[in-house]
A and B are shown apart, each in its own frame.
Chain A
Amino acid sequence: METNEIISLQKICKHYNIPFSFISSLNEYELVEIITIQKTQCVYKAQIKDIEKMIRLHYELDINLEGLDAIYNLLKQVESLKDEINKLNNKLSLYESF
């Protein structure tokens, strides 16, 4: 069962040559959401980029799942802080003289 928005886990695991248990563990840490549609386990395609990132960090840098969980959350914080800085910079320009 695949649509434009979801992709089966089987396909993902085969494509990246990773065990199913890896994605399953990511799901346990709430880093990836697994959905079951017509008895097929799938993930949202929008999550593929994050999954790839975690494959690289886990297999290239030997970062365990606890580490991935911490990194993932910190990166999200970094991103949100960058957005905040950008918004504040734009606001600050309102008060700067021409």
Chain B
Amino acid sequence: MTFIDYYKILGLTKSASDKDIKKAYRKLARKYHPDLNPNDKVAEKKFKEINEANEVLSHPENRKKYDQYGKDWQHAEAFEKAKQQQQQQRSSYQQSASDSYSNQDFSDFFESMFGGASSRTRGGNIKFRGQDYNAELQLDLKDVYKTHKRTLTVNNKNIRINIPAGVENGQVIKINGHGGKGINGGPNGDLYINFSIANHSRFKRDKNNLYTTINLDLYKAILGGEITVNTFDGKVKLNIKPETQNGAKIKLKGKGFPIYKKENQYGDLYITYQIKIPTHLTVKEKELFKELDKLR
């Protein structure tokens, strides 16, 4: 545990008045409040620090104790422990009724000096939903080709979720009630999972459609024929029309990516032909090409 300078956090000196503290807190809280900075981890951390500083400095008793012990807060801890032991002997059965107020938002330093949540007044008796949690789930494109279940660990709790096929990169899904615990008996917050989907395949994806480029040899492009190509879930045979041009595109209906939450419905696969010109021609080949050239 390290000493935290609450005055510094609020940009104040030790001589600050109650009015100065309130003003500084309001100003910083407006800047870093999580409701005004959604999904901003840095702002969230900063807000917690500001909130903690305000909890200490805006309560005369807490501020007095903080000012008194300051950097020697370890002594305060020892002092408090002795005091707590005495209190526990008197009222060991009186377990705190404020368990529903999560302590995790405060630093160890705060906890050691000011104890649990009982010293706080924020929120009063108002019931609030717990905080929403945000988590990122990294998957590969092939993982989301089929609907599957996956177990996630969020705040030391295992949650088994269904991941529907066709989830998109950057898509967020909400898991009800798996966020932070409700305050004063309010309902739990929700868990928002942001999917980060890496694509290591040779297909590019745009929503439900897939795109790929395949090499076609010159003779097949000119004369036509049959080739076998890879789709996302297997191989298919394709007929190449004679005189196929470089850059020609074809569409394979229903061979794209699954459509999110629409069972057995798929996008399309677009194939672009890239004609490969033969290299290292033999003398004979060169002669034949010259002959063909003369014919044109």
Interface string of A8-28 (1 = CB under 8 A from B): 000000011100000000000
Please tell me if the beta carbons of A63 and B30 are within 8 angstroms of each other in the complex. yes
Please tell me if the beta carbons of B33 and A57 are within 8 angstroms of each other in the complex. yes
Chain B interfacial residues counted at CB < 8 A: 23
Q: Across the interface, which residues of B come within 8 angstroms of A55, CB to CB?
A: 126
Distance A36 CA – B31 CA, assembled complex (angstroms): 37
Please tell me if the beta carbons of A57 and B35 are within 8 angstroms of each other in the complex. yes
Please tell me if the beta carbons of A52 and B128 are within 8 angstroms of each other in the complex. yes
Q: Across the interface, which residues of B come within 8 angstroms of A78, CB to CB?
A: 38
Tell me the nearest residue of chain A to B33, going by C-beta: A61
| A81 adjacent to chain B (CB < 8 Å) | no
Number of A-B contacts (CB under 8 A): 54
How far does the Cβ of A91 sit from chain B's closest Cβ, in whole Å? 6
Tell me the nearest residue of chain A to B127, going by C-beta: A15
| Residue with the greatest number of chain B CB neighbours at <10 A, chosen from A49, A60, A62 | A60
Distance A98 CA – B204 CA, assembled complex (angstroms): 9
Q: Across the interface, which residues of A come within 8 angstroms of B169, CB to CB?
A: 86, 89-90, 93
Interface string of B167-179 (1 = CB under 8 A from A): 0111000000000
| A71 adjacent to chain B (CB < 8 Å) | yes
Please tell me if the beta carbons of A93 and B129 are within 8 angstroms of each other in the complex. no
Distance A18 CA – B124 CA, assembled complex (angstroms): 12
Interface string of B14-41 (1 = CB under 8 A from A): 0000000000001001100101101000
Footprint of B on A, CB under 8 Å? 15-17, 48-49, 52-53, 55-57, 60-63, 71, 75, 78-79, 86-87, 89-91, 93-94, 98
29 A-B residue pairs with CB within 8 Å: A16-B126, A16-B127, A16-B128, A17-B124, A17-B125, A17-B126, A53-B35, A56-B33, A56-B35, A56-B128, A57-B33, A57-B35, A57-B36, A60-B122, A61-B29, A61-B30, A61-B33, A62-B26, A63-B30, A78-B38, A87-B170, A90-B169, A90-B170, A90-B205, A91-B206, A93-B199, A93-B204, A94-B204, A98-B202
